[in-house]
Amino acid sequence: MTSKPFPQDFVWGTATSSYQIEGAWQADGKGESIWDRFAHTPGKIMDQSSGDVACDHYQRWPQDIALMKELGLHAYRFSIAWPRILPQGSGAVNQAGIGFYSRLVDGLLEAGIVPFVTLYHWDMPQALQDKGGWPQRSTAEAFVEYADVISRALGDRVKHWITHNEPWCASFLSYQIGEHAPGLHDWPAALAASHHLLLSHGWAVPVLRRNSPGAEVGITLNFTASEIATPTPENVVAARVYDGYFNRWFLDAVCGRHYPADMMEGYRQAGFVPAGGAGFIQDGDMAAIAAPIDFLGVNYYTRFMLKADGNNPPMPADDAEHATLPRTDMGWEIFPQGLYELLCRLHFEYKLPKLYITENGASFADGPGADGQVHDTRRIDYLRAHFDAAHRAMKAGAPLAGYFVWSLMDNFEWARGYTERFGIVWVDYETQERMLKDSALWYKGVIAANAFE
Ligand code: FCB
C-alpha cells in the first residue's frame, strides 16, 4: 500500500462536548441545563442514564490531557457549558465556572495542544428554556452576552472559536422531532429556533473577534448525504427537500444566500410560517447571519436513503429497503464517498475559505478482550476510509485544514445514553479508568507520520 501524506500544517485532533463528558452537574455553582432536566425526566434516555457523572472529566481533566499528549494530538475540540458561566443564562457570572475552563485551557497549552472551543453544544441554561428557549429572540441576545463573557476571559489564549455545534440538532431534532432536549414537537417553534441559533452565531462573530484578537471564528454544521435509489422525478424532489431541510437551510444562510426559497415556500404551504413572510426574520438578520467566517466546521457521519412520500410538507420517508451498506452500531450506514462529495461541494459550490472536519467517527461497542485490549478494527477501518475520502477531496482542491475524530473517549451519547461507544479511548464507567483502544494507537501512528496507508 502507498502512504498518503497530509500537508505539513494539517491539524489532527479529537472532539468532545461538555454535557457528554464532564459530569459534576451541580458543582461549583453551575446552573441546571436543558439536558440535566431532560435526562432526569423518565423515559427520555434509552438506558435511563444521565450526564450527572459521565466521564467525570470535570475532576479528571489533567489525566485526560495526559492521554491526549500521549496520542500526539495537535488540537482538542471541547465545548463550554453555558450554565457553568451564567447559571441563569444571563446576568450573574459564575467565576468558578470560568476558572474551570481557564485551567483546562492552560493545561492544554502547556501540553502543546491547541484548544478549539465550541460555545454551544446543546446544554442551554434551563432558565432560558423556561422563558421559551431558542424559539425566543431574547435567547439569541443572551447567547451574545455569554459569548462576550467567556471570550473576554479566555480570548487571550483561545484562538479558535466555534459558535454553535450542529444547529439542525439544536432546532429541528430538539423542537420538532423531540428526540433531544427540550423534547418538543412543534414545527413553527423549530423554525424560529433555527433562525435564532443562526442569528446568535452572526451576532457573536464580531464579539469574538473583538475579545480574541487574531482568532479564527467559525460555526460547525452537520451534513448528511441525501441519497435515493431510483431517480424518479418524485424521488429527486424528495432528496432535494431533505437536503434543503438538513443541509442548505443552515449552509445557505451562513454563506449569505438567505434561506433556500424552495424550503421557505414549502414551509409556507405547510402553514409553518405565515403567508406574509416569516415573522421571526427581522430587518438586518440575514446580513448578520452572513458575517464572514474564517472556517466552516463540518460534522459528517452517514447518509440517509430516502424516497418520496406524500406527506405535508413533502418530507421524504426512509427507504430502508435500499439502505444496504454496512452499518455502525448506531445503525448508521458507512458511506465515506459522501464525505468526499460533501467536501468537494462545499468547496466548489460555496467557496468557503477553510474547512475543518470537526467531527467524524463511529460507534462500535467492542470492549476489552481476553488480552485486556480493545481490538476495535472496525473503527480503524471506518476512520481509514474517511481519511481517504478527505485526502481525495483535498487533492481535488478542498481547503481542508484539520480533522477532529469523534470522540476522544466513550461518553454519554444523548438520547442513547451509554449504549453507544464512539471513543478511541475506552472508559470503564464503574471505575472511570481509561484505556487506549487499538484505534487510538493507530491514530497516534497516523499523527506521527502525518500520513496513513
Ligand atoms: C453529533 C454530535 C456529537 C455526538 C455525535 C455522535 O451529532 O455533535 O455530540 O453525539 O453526533
**Spatial CA neighbour of 169 closest among 415, 421, 357:** 415
Q: pLDDT band at 5, cuts 50/70/90?
A: very high
Q: pLDDT band at 300, cuts 50/70/90?
A: very high
* Each residue's pLDDT tens digit, 230-241: 999 999 999 999
Mean per-residue pLDDT of the chain = 97
Decide if pLDDT at 274 tops 80. Answer: no
Q: Going from the N-terminus, what domains does the chain have, and what CATH number goes with each? A: 4-166+177-223+271-301+330-452 (3.20.20.80)
Decide if pLDDT at 276 tops 70. Answer: no
Neighbours of 92 (CB within 10 A): 9
pLDDT of residue 270: 86
Decide if pLDDT at 314 tops 70. Answer: no
Decide if pLDDT at 278 tops 80. Answer: no
Q: Is 166 a catalytic residue?
A: yes
Measured CA to CA, the distance from residue 169 to residue 121 in angstroms comes to: 10
Tell which one of 168, 413, 418 to mutate to probe ligand 1, the residue whose CB is within 8 A of the most ligand atoms. 413
- Distance from the CA of 93 to the center of ligand 1, in angstroms? 28
Amino acid at 115: P
- Distance from the CA of 305 to the center of ligand 1, in angstroms? 20
* Each residue's pLDDT tens digit, 39-60: 999 999 999 999 999 999 999 9
pLDDT of residue 338: 98
Q: What is this structure's pTM?
A: 0.98
Tell me the backbone φ, ψ of residue 114, rounded to 5 degrees: -85, 125
Tell which one of 123, 405, 406, 407 to mutate to probe ligand 1, the residue whose CB is within 8 A of the most ligand atoms. 406
H or E element in which residue 297 lies: strand 295-307
- Distance from the CA of 303 to the center of ligand 1, in angstroms? 15
Decide if pLDDT at 273 tops 90. Answer: no
Amino acid at 278: A
* Each residue's pLDDT tens digit, 188-228: 999 999 999 999 999 999 999 999 999 999 999 999 999 99
Measured CA to CA, the distance from residue 349 to residue 367 in angstroms comes to: 42
Mean pLDDT within 283-311: 96
Atom number, ligand 1, closest to the C-alpha of residue 363: 6
Q: Which residues pair with 123 in a beta bridge?
A: none
- Distance from the CA of 1 to the center of ligand 1, in angstroms? 32
Mean pLDDT within 347-362: 98
* Each residue's pLDDT tens digit, 366-385: 999 999 999 999 999 999 99
pLDDT of residue 246: 98
Question: How would DSSP label each residue in 300-366?
Answer: EEEEEEEE----SS-PPEE-GGG--S-B-TTS-B--HHHHHHHHHHHHHHH--S-EEEEEE------
Neighbours of 347 (CB within 10 A): 18
pLDDT of residue 324: 98
Strand pairing of 317-318 and 295-307? antiparallel
Q: pLDDT band at 315, cuts 50/70/90?
A: confident
Q: Which residues' Cβ are closer than 6 Å to ligand 1?
A: 17, 20, 165-166, 169, 222, 299, 359, 406, 413-414, 422
- Distance from the CA of 416 to the center of ligand 1, in angstroms? 11
Grid cell of 433 as nine digits: 479508568
Atom 10 of ligand 1: nearest residue by CA position: 413
H or E element in which residue 69 lies: helix 57-71
- Distance from the CA of 41 to the center of ligand 1, in angstroms? 21
Q: Which residues pair with 304 in a beta bridge?
A: 226
Query: Pick the catalytic residue: 22, 216, 359, 420?
Result: 359
User: How far from each other are the two terminal CA atoms of the chain, in whole angstroms?
Assistant: 6
Q: Which residues are within 8 A (CB) of 139 and not within 5 positions of it... i.e. 6 or more apart?
A: 89, 124, 128, 131, 132, 133, 196, 200
